[in-house]
Structure 1
Amino acid sequence: MVTIKASHTVAPNQPTPQGRLWLSNSDQTARPAHTPNLYIYKAKHNIIEYDIEKMIDSLSKVLVYYYPVAGRLSVTESGRMEVDCNAKGVTLIEAETAKTFDDFGDFTPSDSIKEELVPVIDYHSQPIEEIPLVLVQVTRFKGDRKQQGLAVAVAVSHPVADGYAWIHFINTWAKVNRGGMLDLNDMPCLDRTIRRSSSLSSPPPRFDHPELKPLPFKLGKSDSTEEQNKKTTAAVLKLTSEQVEMLRKKANENENLSTKQGSRSRPCSRFEAVAAHIWRCACKARELDRNQPTLVRFNADFRNRLTPPLPRNYFGNALAATVTPECYAGEITSKPLSYAARKMREAVEMLKEEYISSQLDIALGEEQLESIKALFSRQGERRNAPFAGNPNLQITSWINIPLYEADFGWGKPEHFVLGYVCPFDRGIIIQGPENDGSVIVIMYFQISHMQLFKKFFYEDVFTSRL
């Protein structure tokens, strides 16, 4: 049971610019909710002593530079979201839980973690325009000195920025809280107009854009309703740097084979190798018919895919969707890992600048704008991305995001997870806490298939049949 001790509204500690912040097409198509990032800190030798006033003060300083974060979402007559930079502030909650640090185990995402450690966000009884863009909950665990620790959950609005940008914000706040000075590297680039489309209406498609089309259904089904109604669970799966390199070696076998264009392909990345492994294990665990069509859908950061590239401190969504070619489950499970890895690579290599611009122009059509207006008027639900669960898969890569730099003065977090259970099959790949090449996969999977998935996940790393 969690007890809320106090709730604070934190605003910038200096006057900040007022007005509306234009949001790009990539912002408009982001999931219309908050993402709860959960950091777990454990006392190394003695009790973690945190000063809530110090946390409030440091946050108020950072909000001066990230002033849109203290605003609220709003909607235009046309249906585009904007940020009303009104300095209403963010919410910081102090809480205590009756559970000990050890009661949560490895902090695998669960309903218990969501209920105890994550701030409650009421999307139903209050207008969206009144919901803070950031809500923080700092929770102290019960227990003796050996079990002392804190959970810091930071729930951030996805339409305002992507994971890379939000983590930079959180790390900057942590830096200031532990006594660090702000410098140019901490300053966000808030100018979204560099991603403004040259067209006021959606132009004709310039590419086929399979990532915007419906995904395959289970054989014999005409929709995904049955799969959407199945419950999922979560697992935190760890791969050492040696295991990751073993997967990369297997993923890069047969690289003397030519690509469809007839030229030698580049080696598969760490992400492509691990994602291919996840896809393969998912197909095996689901025991799909070998003729079952399946694909993987994921987003990629396009900051460095544009000319000129976006600033690395660009504060917004810079994500483009892509999807593997449609394959058969039998191909994924029976062929070497390099086959699935090449399909992942093909999906990545579609994302050239012209393709990304075309996708973002098309994705924000009249249907999407109408769904945004309906969401704000509470007369309907926002149209979401296609259901990417069984027989398909959604995979997210946070491998290159510095998740463990959020040191508020108590040392680096011992665990980082997302504080919710995703309602469909999804894998999230993050770096290991030691930044030594190891990775952690936060895996959401249907309950009926999870045990088999975990079995294959580790067995297949070592088998020669990879």
Structure 2
Amino acid sequence: MPASPAAFGRSSFTVGGITFRPTGIRKSLVTPSKPTEPENEWLSLSNLDRVVTPAFSSTIHFFEGADQSFECIVTGLKRSLAEVLVHFFPLAGRLVLREDGLVDLHCNDKGAIFIEASVAVDLAAFGGPQPMDAISGLEIARLGPGPIYMPDQLESMPTLVVQVTKFKCGAIAIATNWHHTIADGSAGCHFIKSWSEVATGRGISLVPNHNRQLLAPRKPPNPSLVQGYSTKSAHNLNNVNTDRELMQSFTGSKEPPVINTFHLDKMTVQKMKDRANEELGQEAARKFTSAEGISAILWKKMTEARRVKVEDAVDVDDYLPDGTQTRFFMFVDGRKKLDMPAGYFGNVVCSACAVSTEEDILEKSSVYAASLIREACKRADGDYFRSLIDWVEVQGSSPSKSEHVNSAGHDVAATFWTFFPLYEMEFGFGKPVYSARNSPPRPLIDGIAMMPSSKGPGNMTALLNLSADRMARLRLDTEFQTCFIG
């Protein structure tokens, strides 16, 4: 029986009834090969950096057996990381808590945390390449329980953690974790691709731009367009992760969250999009995109999985009554909307918010849900981004976060990484056989993360985050099974 990936991060894990321990674990710091320029020692965060969830964004890349020794692989990765950190120096710095409660970025070249580990079992024992947050390195780095990672008055917070793991079969996994306060998914992938370019002697194809003053607030600020954001603290996420009673009070389920992987082939993606467009009608000026079509279907299916039939409910609170509000948060990139320079390194994302009731999502066609998502994303234009920057400025030192962070269990958050170059990241020992986000399951919200597929353009991999009971119901849905293979 495959080992549970979640078990690996502990001091031991079990495969087939036999307990193994990771061997040869080494933790070190990799500093830039040249010091940061003095004028860049303190880098002001933008308001779009301050509004994201203070967690680590994580990816994992798997490679088949390399013809180099593990020692040579690690040496090459450390050397190239030191070189690329000269350009991406924020990832060698530390997040520091100011006296007023705001966080600043100190580019002090203290270095990225680099972990190397060997595992005396084959990758196949884990079920093959897949997201494995337990080998992300975050637990070994000892940054705290997560998923919220914030500096305090005594301890600063590293901004980059890397773990390289070698399996008995020779497979290599590179897990990369950057603090979301420093960079969004687009910027994080820009860093990893640049690292891979340096590792293979190609040189950086796109030099990062660190001018965060490009996202300065207006004078006077005008926050009038903002919706879907609040000043609720995100710190209760860490408590909900470990307290099942607290989890039920937020989500209606005591079951722990899980992430399952599903695959969509190119033909299925096209059919899902065609289905929504057929309902839309020939007279429509603009057809639905794949993201809109997939999101609409998943919003409906996740809502169905959330609602327990009256006859199956343990108590009355298990059944969600009509009129229950549901929101769909779609993460939107604002680089083109704000005419940002190529290579801007930081956060330029917001969460567009579509709102409905659960019965409308269930009873109406997928066009209804897709149209709500489209209109929400349409509202997230350049003016909206500027208004969000101003809104954070008006809040001052108050925490400002997208409301999906503290969802009450009826909402869905979706992010699409399908155009990110996850399979273009080679480090000198072949192309990755699998690449995806590697974040741990989150308790408060149903989540969708769409990834590119190793099978090429048009194919997709879906990482779905649900409580275990809802995931089980979703998997039993016949219509879901016809589209998502897992």
Which interval holds the TM-score relative to the shorter structure? 0.7 to 0.9
Given the alignment, which residue of 337, 347, 350 partners 1:317?
347
AA paired with 1:359? Answer: L
**1:39-438 correspondence runs (5 A):** 39-43=61-65, 50-109=72-131, 113-120=132-139, 121-124=141-144, 129-142=155-168, 147-182=169-204, 185-199=205-219, 203=221, 205-207=223-225, 209-212=227-230, 225-227=250-252, 230-256=255-281, 264-287=284-307, 289=321, 291-306=323-338, 309-324=339-354, 326-366=355-395, 369-371=397-399, 385-388=404-407, 390-417=409-436, 418-424=438-444, 425-438=446-459
Instruction: Provide, for residues 26-48 of structure 1, a one-character-per-residue CA deviation record: whole Å limited to 9, x for no partner.
Output: 00112112222111112289987
Distance 2:351 2:49 in 1: 13
Distance 1:25 1:228 in 2: 34
Contact 2:251–2:410 under 8 Å retained in 1: no
1:378 maps to which residue? none
Structure 2: give runs of 5+ residues left out of the alignment. 1-20, 233-247, 308-319
2:463 maps to which residue? 442
State TM-score, norm by structure 1. Answer: 0.83
Query: What is the Cα deviation at residue 277 of structure 1?
Result: 1.4
1:28 maps to which residue? 50
- Seen in structure 2, the aligned counterparts of structure 1 residues 362 and 70 have a Cα distance that, compared at 3 Å, is same
- Seen in structure 2, the aligned counterparts of structure 1 residues 245 and 50 have a Cα distance that, compared at 3 Å, is farther
Partner SS state of residue 118, structure 2: strand
- Seen in structure 2, the aligned counterparts of structure 1 residues 176 and 438 have a Cα distance that, compared at 3 Å, is same
- Seen in structure 2, the aligned counterparts of structure 1 residues 187 and 206 have a Cα distance that, compared at 3 Å, is same
State TM-score, norm by structure 2. Answer: 0.80
Aligned residues, how many?
Answer: 426
**400-409 or 123-132, which deviates more:** 123-132
Distance 1:458 1:2 in 2: 41
Query: What is the Cα deviation at residue 230 of structure 1?
Result: 4.0
Partner SS state of residue 416, structure 1: strand
AA paired with 2:212? Answer: R
AA paired with 1:249? Answer: D
Distance 1:211 1:76 in 2: 23
Distance 1:80 1:213 in 2: 14
Distance 1:32 1:285 in 2: 29
**418-427 or 344-353, which deviates more:** 418-427
Partner SS state of residue 253, structure 1: helix
Query: What is the Cα deviation at residue 5 of structure 1?
Result: 3.0
Q: % of aligned pairs identical?
A: 26
Query: What is the Cα deviation at residue 87 of structure 1?
Result: 1.1
AA paired with 2:336? Answer: N
RMSD of aligned C-alpha atoms? 2.9
Query: What is the Cα deviation at residue 351 of structure 1?
Result: 0.8
1:375 maps to which residue? none
Distance 1:422 1:30 in 2: 15
Distance 1:227 1:107 in 2: 32
Structure 1: give runs of 5+ residues left out of the alignment. 215-222, 259-263, 373-381
Query: What is the Cα deviation at residue 116 of structure 1?
Result: 4.0
AA paired with 1:454? Answer: R
